[in-house]
Chains A and B, each alone.
Chain A
């Protein structure tokens, strides 16, 4: 790792951890309804929203009511995005006159954005009208993130309440998440990004003359769009002169801000944050990377504050940060070493003050190795899924790290809300394992962990691997699954495994070579995303409901303290062990084999 890379990582981590405390405290105030400056000012807006929606904000919900509200709201969200895509050709704000999206792609995309996955089987600038991007996709960016945060708030109340059968009000948690947290931050971020050069306009695409004209040879088409054949049956080619460049524009900044802050990740343009209009400078890159982990990191402190012991939040954040930093080092190292097969051709991949060197296929010069690698790890640690470099072209080890981070269940920071409630489920498993070792009933934060909680926790931990490995198995057996592969051999397997790891953990990043826009993948991955989001939210709320009903057990001699370095280590071990035992065999078939091939060892 170069000195500059180390310096950039240090600044990143420092900024992130410094901001986690004030933001975390602020969010705790919001969820506990404690008055602070901003929310006094916005309270009238908040109450107006409740009046419009005929909601009584003081009504408390049992866990089942809370879950039904989450599901009903998300179901309507899915239907809304689906309908917008199916009707976009007759709706306004479609200056490029894009046609309706076909049904299986619309199904996949609607689920993808409602589940905070933002898997994209389409190319933004060629498929979605401005209206669909705004009313459908941008809206779901906010709502899916807020859903995750609301569920976390409810989960936290499971620990703070005693002898209670309610967890708060979903509509209130949702409204507060957007109004006081996501919306102000997004406004701030989008303006900062526009200042750096991210586009934000409703104008149609801009045409400019090229400095040097291009020649393009392509098959000649007849009036029906069919290729012409000569008498011998050969395709007739024609040479066209390209004199102009069309710049795709749009209201991008407003969507990018929330795509990063809400760990959504769905790009405005096809290549996501690698596009110069989506991420033009190193500073915009820094801001976007910061936004990926900002809320997930800060929520740890929110949780600590809400349960009345901030050390608990810091312990969780420490566990996440340790795994994160280690894996960043692995990826940046693999990418900096580069591709030995290129060195053999006399290509210079060494880092110097004149170039970043390393594996530059699928990377942008302004980001180089350091920022491309850091982004890849951050985006998959969080369930963000946006990219600023093409992961499919990463070295085998460099690409394995993002894949494994998703497979760990998106708990190293993870999605906003969902990452932390996932990690807390792992914490419950960790105290259970520790309890078995010393032969005592496990407790976490003063609540006894019993059979019911463990059953629900097991579901939360087991569903994603089932979706990932099951889906991969189906796809590698089906012709429709294998046909979509772009790169040959081991890397082709990695493309499929990556797609299901991404969908089965609601991440949304991809090895982009896979032609995922087919009915087979759209439906299979769509169902995967659906299951991994809602089959986790329901048992998580069930745990919270059960915990809230219990009384608080005082801290005793047999209680395992959960804020110590020992517990941090235990938690990390639990996460890594589950992740390793489940996925090492599959990873061995993909990235590991490819690594050996690349080194010429097979």
Chain B
């Protein structure tokens, strides 16, 4: 029994060093070498190399001249990338209905003459609260509002949406989607 405990203790020590120190340091070193941008959060940088945002993390938008991302349940404010969180609202929870109704209302007020059916991803919170994407349907739904706010022709917006659409990976994996931050940066002329 005593012998077993000594072996157990030494084993734990050895494996702590190998899997807890050597392994993560090796991966970090290799990652820095092979994928320096990705390893540090896939930052989008401006002309002077200053960070403007992450290509993988959404930001909150509520100005009519921007495309809006998905509702975010992070606290104390939306898209808090230091505290990811979903809403965890169950399908029959009255609070879910309340938040969906409020969001529909906000969309309708911002764009009163839009009578298209509202795409579901635009009124439901994402799992992470940081979802950088919306569906193509959700992007097209908003073109009318953004076009009016910016006095831009719809077809220019459609071209920008197309340029910022990520298709299914390898033609089959995942879902086609639009990166909201990249699209809005393109609208502001911050990026090409």
A interface residue numbers (CB < 8 A to B): 4, 7-8, 11, 49, 52-55, 65, 68-69, 72-73, 75-77, 80, 123, 125-126, 134-136, 138-139, 141-143, 171, 174-175, 178, 183, 186-187, 190-191, 194-203, 205-206, 208-212, 214, 216, 218, 242, 245-249, 251, 253-255, 257-258, 269-271, 274-277, 280-283, 285-286, 338-339, 341-342, 345-349, 352-368, 370-372, 387-390, 392-396, 486-491, 494, 511-513, 594, 597-598
> In the bound complex, do residue B82 and residue A125 qualify as a contact, i.e. CB atoms below 8 Å apart?
yes
**A199–B39 contact, CB under 8 A?**
yes
Partner of B53, one of A195, A211, A271: A211
Whether the Cβ atoms of B8 and A76 lie closer than 8 Å is: yes
**Alpha-carbon distance A347/B118, docked complex (angstroms):** 5
Closest 9 CB pairs of A and B: A282-B174, A274-B127, A513-B88, A355-B135, A368-B175, A390-B86, A348-B117, A282-B173, A354-B137
**B residues 9-34 in Cβ contact with A at 8 Å:** 9-12, 14-16, 18-21, 23-24, 26-28, 30-32, 34
A295 smallest CB distance to B (angstroms): 16
Chain A residues contacting B125 (CB-CB under 8 Å) are 361-362
In the complex, the answer to whether A206 meets B172 with C-beta atoms within 8 Å is no
B83–A126 touching, CB < 8 Å: yes
Closest-CB distance, B162 to chain A (whole angstroms): 12
Contact of B35 among A171, A194, A208 (CB under 8 A): A194
The residue from B9, B56, B131, B172 contacting A11, defined by CB atoms under 8 A apart: B172
Indicate which residue in A139, A358, A389 contacts B15 across the interface (CB closer than 8 Å): A139
Interface CB pairs A-B, < 8 A, 11: A76-B8, A134-B20, A191-B34, A197-B38, A197-B55, A248-B82, A348-B120, A370-B175, A392-B90, A393-B87, A511-B88
Whether B175 lies near A388 (C-beta < 8 A) is: no
Task: List 5 additional contacts besides A52-B14, A194-B38, A365-B121; criterion CB under 8 Å.
Answer: A55-B7, A183-B18, A282-B169, A372-B127, A513-B88
Task: Please tell me which one of the listed residues A49, A76, A187, A372 contacts residue B23 in the complex, with CB atoms under 8 A apart.
Answer: A187
Alpha-carbon distance between A275 and B128 when the two chains are bound, in angstroms: 5
Q: Are B12 and A77 in contact (CB-based, < 8 A)? A: yes
* CB proximity of A84 to chain B, nearest CB, Å: 10
Whether A276 lies near B57 (C-beta < 8 A) is yes
Check: B101 CB closer than 8 A to any chain A CB: yes
The residues of A that contact B188 with a CB separation of less than 8 Å are 211
Place the interface of chain B in its size category.
35 or more
For the complex, what is the distance from the CA of A359 to the CA of B129, rounded to whole Å? 16
Among A55, A208, A248, the most chain B Cβ lie within 10 Å of the Cβ of A208
Q: Which chain B residues border A511 with CB–CB below 8 Å?
A: 88
Q: How far is the CA of A396 from the CA of B101 in the complex (A)?
A: 21
Nearest neighbor of A246 in chain B, beta-carbon distance: B82
Asked if A178 contacts B174 (CB within 8 A), the reply is no
Judge whether B86 and A212 touch: CB under 8 Å. Answer: no
Q: Are B89 and A283 in contact (CB under 8 A)?
A: no
A208, B6: Cα distance in complex, Å: 49
- B109 within 8 Å of A (CB atoms): no
Q: By the criterion CB–CB under 8 Å, are B128 and A53 in contact?
A: no
**A194 and B31 in contact, given A211-B59, A354-B140, A366-B177 (Cβ under 8 angstroms):** yes
Chain A residues closer than 8 Å to B5, beta-carbon distance:
72, 76
* B106 CB-CB contact with A under 8 Å: no
Question: B146-175 CB contact bits vs A (8 Å, 1 = yes)?
Answer: 000000000000000000001011101111
Q: Distance in Å from the Cβ of A291 to the closest Cβ of chain B? A: 15
User: Residues of A contacting B30 with CB < 8 Å?
Assistant: 191
- List of B residues within 8 angstroms of A389 by Cβ: 127
Smallest CB-CB separation from B172: which chain A residue?
A7
Measured in the bound complex, the distance between the Cα atoms of B132 and A204 in whole Å is 22
Q: Which of A8, A53, A80, A393 is in CB contact (< 8 Å) with B89?
A: A393
